[in-house]
Amino acid sequence: MTTVTPMRWTGDALELLDQRRLPVDEVWVACRDWRAVAEAIVEMVVRGAPAIGITAAYGVVLAARAAGPGATLADLEPALAGLAATRPTAVNLFWALDRMRARGAVSASLADDLEAEATAIHDEDRRMCSAMGDHGAALLPDAARVLTHCNTGALATGGDGTALAVIRSAWRQGRVARIYADETRPFLQGSRLTAWELQRDGIPTRVITDSMAAHLMQRGEIDAVVVGTDRVAANGDVANKIGTYGVAVLCAHHGLPFYVVGPTSTIDLGTASGADIPIERRPAREVTHVGERRVVPEGVEVENPAFDVTPAALVTAIVTEQGVARPPYATSLAAHVAAAGATRLGPPPDP
Ligand code: MRU
C-alpha cells in the first residue's frame, strides 16, 4: 500500500496536498469551510474522480459544523449545490453528495453523522482500490509493459488508485517490466503525478509525450493499456481524461487489450450512453501556457475539453472492486452495481 495520500481530515479542516505544485513542491492547503473545498476542486488542488468525491463529502461535514448544533439538511443545501457545481464529468462527486444527503436526511446528530459518512466513503474507497488492484493484476501478462494515461493513483483516490492499483498489485507479484506514463497534456497529470508516484514505489517508468504511444505500439513495445475513468455509462461507454479515446483506437488497431479500472461509484447506470456524459471544458490558459510560459501566440483561440468518451466497443474489460466486467456491459455493469449495493447495505430484510 502506498504512503501517498491526497487528503488528511483533521476534524475541523480538510488538508489537501496541492497537486498543482507536484512534483517540485509538496505543499499542503488547509480548507476550513466548504467554499474553500469547492474552490480547491475547481482549481485542481485535488483531482481524480474518487478523490473529488471524498473531498466533497468532507466539504459537507465542514458546512454542517459551521451551521451549528440546530442545523438541518435544508441548511446545507447551498453547500451541497456549491460542491456539485465544481466539476461536471466525474460522477463520483454526485455519488458522494447523494450519499451525504441520504445520511443527513435520517440523521439525529447531523454533523457527527455526516462526518461518519464521509469517513466511511473514504475508507470504502481505500478497500475498493485494493480489490481492483487484485482483480486487474490477473489480466496482465508476465513481464508486462503497460501504458497508462493521466494519474489514476493514490493522488486520485482514497487508496492505491484505480489503474495504478492494478499496476502496483502486478508489480508486487513481480510481473511488471515497465510502465509507460503518457505525459497527459495539458495538465500533465502523467508526467508530474504518475511518474512521481511510481518513482516513489520504485516501479520502472518512462514518461512519453502523448503523441509517442502509436510509435511504441507499432514497434511492439507495449503489451496492454490500463486507464481509469471518471464516469462509465450504462452501456459501457467510458469518459476519461482527454486523450484516452485516441489510445483506445490505437489499441484496437494494434490488437492490444484496453482495460478500464474504476470502482462501482464511477458507474452511472442513470446515464444511458457516453453521448449523455457532460464533458468539462477547462480554462484556455491550461493550453496556452506550460507553467508560467506562454506556448501559443496571444489571441489564438484554443479548445480545452478535459475528458473524452471511449465507446464500449473499444473496451476489452472494465475492472471494478466486484471483479472484471466483460461485454455486454449493459448486463455486467448492472450486476457489479447490484453486488456493490448488496455488500454496502447488507442482505435484504426477510419478507
Ligand atoms: O482532470 P482530472 O485530473 O481530475 O482527471 C482524472 C482522470 O481522468 C482519471 O483518469 C480519473 O479520475 C480516473 S482515476 C481515479
| C-alpha of residue 110 to centroid of ligand 1, in Å | 31
| C-alpha of residue 16 to centroid of ligand 1, in Å | 16
> Does 164 contact ligand 1 (Cβ within 6 A)?
no
> Does 48 contact ligand 1 (Cβ within 6 A)?
yes
> Does 150 contact ligand 1 (Cβ within 6 A)?
yes
> Does 306 contact ligand 1 (Cβ within 6 A)?
yes
| C-alpha of residue 229 to centroid of ligand 1, in Å | 6
Helix (H) or strand (E) holding 209: none
Which atom of ligand 1 is closest in space to residue 282's alpha carbon? 1
In whole angstroms, what is the distance from residue 10 CA to residue 8 CA? 6
In whole angstroms, what is the distance from residue 107 CA to residue 188 CA? 42
Catalytic residue list: 230
Task: Write down the pTM of the prediction.
Answer: 0.96
Nearest CA to ligand 1 atom 8: 241
| C-alpha of residue 218 to centroid of ligand 1, in Å | 27
Nearest CA to ligand 1 atom 6: 48
> Does 310 contact ligand 1 (Cβ within 6 A)?
no
Q: Answer for the pair 46, 29: CB distance below 8 angstroms, yes or no.
A: no
Q: Answer for the pair 203, 237: CB distance below 8 angstroms, yes or no.
A: no
> Does 162 contact ligand 1 (Cβ within 6 A)?
yes
Taking residue 119's Cβ as centre, other Cβ atoms within 10 Å add up to 15
**Tens-of-pLDDT digits for all 351 residues of the chain?**
677 999 999 999 999 999 999 999 999 999 999 999 999 999 999 999 999 999 999 999 999 999 999 899 999 999 999 999 999 999 999 999 999 999 999 988 999 999 999 999 999 999 999 999 999 999 999 999 999 999 999 999 999 999 999 999 999 999 999 999 999 999 999 999 999 999 999 999 999 999 999 999 999 999 999 999 999 999 999 999 999 999 999 999 999 999 999 999 999 999 999 999 999 999 999 999 999 999 999 999 999 999 999 999 999 999 999 999 999 999 999 999 999 998 764 444 443
For helices 92-105 and 110-137, what crossing angle results, to 10°?
A: 140
| C-alpha of residue 266 to centroid of ligand 1, in Å | 11
